[in-house]
Amino acid sequence: MAHEVRAVVAREKGQPVSVETILVPDPGPGEALVRVQACGVCHTDLHYREGGINDDFPFLLGHEAAGVVESVGPDVEDLAAGDFAILNWRAVCGTCRACRRGQPWYCFSTHNATQKMTLADGTALSPALGIGAFAQKTLVAAGQCTKVDPRARPEAAGLLGCGVMAGFGAAVNTGGIGRGQSIAVIGCGGVGVAAIAGAKLAGASTIIGVDIDPRKLATAERMGATHTVDSRDVDPVEAIRELTGGHGADVVVEAVGRPETYKQAFYARDLAGTLVQVGVPTPGMTIELPLIELFGRGGALRSSWYGDCLPSRDFPMLIDLYLQGRFDLDAFVSETIGIDDVEAAFEKMHRGEVLRSVVVL
């Protein structure tokens, strides 16, 4: 039986989204039907609407979500109706070459639901990141449901499904920031601020937030930055060096996704320091760096996919820290909105007015 639910759909490139009735099938083998409780409005959804991911319109938007499992397919054993879960977009396969060598966070064969959700006329929808959670219900692969403590607020918990996990993991998992080390984060939006919060939790001694928006810098300070740099007024590379004894930071997280900020991150590292790129560039962007600098500065240049997280390991751990009062997920929730307000939330996000607008369903 198909379930008729309201959902946010992007029908055409660059056009405003619409709220429409869609059809969600009952779960088949390996699938789960989830009643979505909350879903964050992420830049990735806007990238889908703008055609920046691919052209498989119409898209069912939303992916940063938490909810309650309503039913599961006949062969699903580790998930049951009533389970509270955060949805993840990297359900690991367990059998690819990355999984076999003990690095499942790099899984090269993640999976999604097999059946299609559709518009009322039968047109197949492309769910954002294989989830599609700006909807009252969604169909996902059972492995995309990560069970966590149901005491967590869905509005906060769902943010681990993308942005917060991406930023936290960029600093902690990919960058390996640790006690007494220094870190600079270039770009203090939701992902960048999550990297700052992660660095604070990991015990970094010097945490530098860099941005051109004073509002974002103020948020960075509230979330754990020990210093902030307004790069409209000063050279961020020189400022970071000055704040780190003239050396540069041990880890620099680039959370913007532009060639200019990547170069800043590259030169703001200490010798043998680590650069982590978590900002998502557009396909046409290129960068040029002197090869002697790549060799001579040493260290590591790394990209961070989903914060190099393993949802089954990291989501429950971070929810436990949240419930203990040690990781403030609530601070990332700028406002809660209805399903009809997503287009307006895109505008607020573009203007830098919010960390996260969260749709409550």
For residue 313, pLDDT over 90 is answered with yes
pLDDT of residue 306: 95
Unique residue bearing structure tokens 């909807």? 135
User: In whole angstroms, what is the distance from residue 230 CA to residue 102 CA?
Assistant: 41
The closest of 60, 203, 207, 227 to 139, measured between CA atoms, is 60
For residue 98, pLDDT over 90 is answered with yes
Report percent pLDDT > 70 for the chain: 100
State phi, psi for 293 to the nearest 5 degrees.
Answer: -70, -40
Q: Are 285 and 258 in contact (CB under 8 A)?
A: yes
What average pLDDT does this structure show over 281-292? 93
Domain 3-161+328-360 CATH (choose: 3.30.1330.30, 3.90.180.10, 3.10.129.10, 3.30.70.260): 3.90.180.10
In the CATH hierarchy, which top-level class contains the domain 167-304?
alpha beta
Residue type, 218: A
For residue 333, pLDDT over 90 is answered with yes
User: In whole angstroms, what is the distance from residue 217 CA to residue 229 CA?
Assistant: 8
For residue 301, pLDDT over 90 is answered with yes
pLDDT for 188-243, tens place per residue?
Answer: 999 999 999 999 999 999 999 999 999 999 999 999 999 999 999 999 999 999 99
pLDDT for 39-60, tens place per residue?
Answer: 999 999 999 999 988 999 999 9
Beta bridge pairs of residue 335: 357
Q: What is the CA radius of gyration of the chain?
A: 20
The closest of 313, 315, 360 to 340, measured between CA atoms, is 360
User: In whole angstroms, what is the distance from residue 87 CA to residue 65 CA?
Assistant: 6
Report percent pLDDT > 90 for the chain: 97
pLDDT of residue 176: 98
For residue 92, pLDDT over 90 is answered with yes
Where residue 10 falls among pLDDT bands split at 50, 70, 90? very high
What average pLDDT does this structure show over 81-88? 98
User: In whole angstroms, what is the distance from residue 74 CA to residue 60 CA?
Assistant: 26
pLDDT of residue 296: 97
pLDDT of residue 122: 97
Where residue 77 falls among pLDDT bands split at 50, 70, 90? very high
pLDDT of residue 45: 96
What would the two tokens of residue 210 be?
Answer: 């860099």
pLDDT of residue 1: 80
Report domain extents, the chain: 3-161+328-360, 167-304
Unique residue bearing structure tokens 């999976």? 111
pLDDT of residue 52: 86
For residue 283, pLDDT over 90 is answered with no
**What predicted TM-score, i.e. pTM, was given to this entire model?**
0.96
For residue 282, pLDDT over 90 is answered with no
SS3 labels along 113-182: CCCCCEECCCCECEEHHHCCCCECEEEEEHHHEEECCCCCCHHHHHHHHCHHHHHHHHHHHHCCCCCCCE
User: How many other CB atoms are there within 10 angstroms of residue 294's CB atom?
Assistant: 12
Task: Look over the chain and give the mean of its residue pLDDT values, rounded to a whole number.
Answer: 97
Strand, helix or coil for residue 232: coil
